[in-house]
């Protein structure tokens, strides 16, 4: 489980693609805290560290994950949001994030608003039913609050800390991002539908 509070902005050092999937090597200061077999969220996708080296870790990304997330588009030099799995003693500062990406969205508008920046994103219709005004959503692994709803998407506001410490600070119109809706909404829907 994760909280959506990004701990490091890592950088993709290597991508090896094959018919079986992809191997990523990511440089990060968090490598010293990882062991082989540990979970780590990469742009909001829960992955397993398969090898940990000096200042980097490797992870395998299966074809299913490549089909459903923006990880299929990344290459060497790409900055990625990283979060270690939550330990029982950690503060719970964001919201419940599983690292199970529900779909991808696209940035369609950027507007500076004082010291913050508002990002408007499109999202698949099947996800929008779980997105509520002032509710939580995860965008590329970042726990955010929905500031506004539109028929085909939603808007979030980013504070300077988020702009500086995550890859959302470099987002542009057309950027594809991973989205994870609030899991509680999905549980409520499932219970009510029965």
In tens, the pLDDT along 94-124 reads: 788 889 999 999 999 999 999 999 999 999 9
Structural contact between residues 44 and 97, judged by C-beta atoms closer than 8 angstroms: yes
Tokens of 181: 């809706």
pTM score? 0.94
Tokens of 142: 């970042």
Checking if the pLDDT of 193 tops 90, the result is no
Same domain membership, residue 114 and residue 180: yes
Asked if the structure places residue 91 within a domain, the reply is no
User: Which residue range(s) make up the domain with 155?
Assistant: 103-193
Q: Band the pLDDT of 194: cuts 50, 70, 90.
A: confident
Tokens of 22: 């992809």
Tokens of 156: 């979030």
**How many CB atoms sit inside 10 A of residue 128's CB?**
18
Which CATH number is 70's domain given? 2.40.30.20
Asked if the structure places residue 12 within a domain, the reply is yes
* Nearest residue to 138 (alpha-carbon basis) of 193, 191, 181: 181
Same domain membership, residue 122 and residue 58: no
Cα–chain-centroid distance for residue 26? 15
**How many domains would you assign to the chain?**
2
Dist. CA 6–CA 182, nearest whole Å: 17
Quick: pLDDT tens for 26-37. 999 999 999 999
């Amino acid at each position: 489980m994760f909280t959506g509070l990004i701990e490091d902005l890592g950088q993709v050092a290597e991508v090896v693609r094959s018919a079986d999937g992809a191997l990523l090597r990511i440089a990060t200061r968090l490598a010293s805290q990882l062991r082989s077999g540990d979970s780590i969220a990469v742009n909001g996708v829960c992955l397993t560290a398969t090898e940990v080296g000096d200042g980097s870790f490797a992870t395998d990304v299966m074809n299913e994950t490549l089909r459903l997330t923006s990880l299929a588009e990344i290459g060497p030099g790409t900055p990625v949001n990283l979060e270690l799995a939550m330990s029982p003693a950690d503060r719970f500062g964001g919201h419940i994030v599983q690292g199970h990406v529900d779909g991808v969205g696209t940035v369609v508008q950027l507007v500076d608003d004082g010291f913050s920046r508002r990002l408007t994103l499109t999202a698949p219709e099947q996800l929008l039913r779980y997105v509520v005004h002032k509710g939580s959503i995860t965008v590329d692994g970042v726990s955010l609050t929905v500031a506004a709803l539109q028929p085909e998407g939603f808007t979030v506001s980013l504070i300077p800390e988020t702009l500086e410490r995550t890859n959302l600070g470099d987002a542009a119109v057309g950027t594809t991002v991973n989205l994870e809706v609030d899991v509680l909404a999905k549980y409520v829907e499932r219970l009510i539908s029965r």
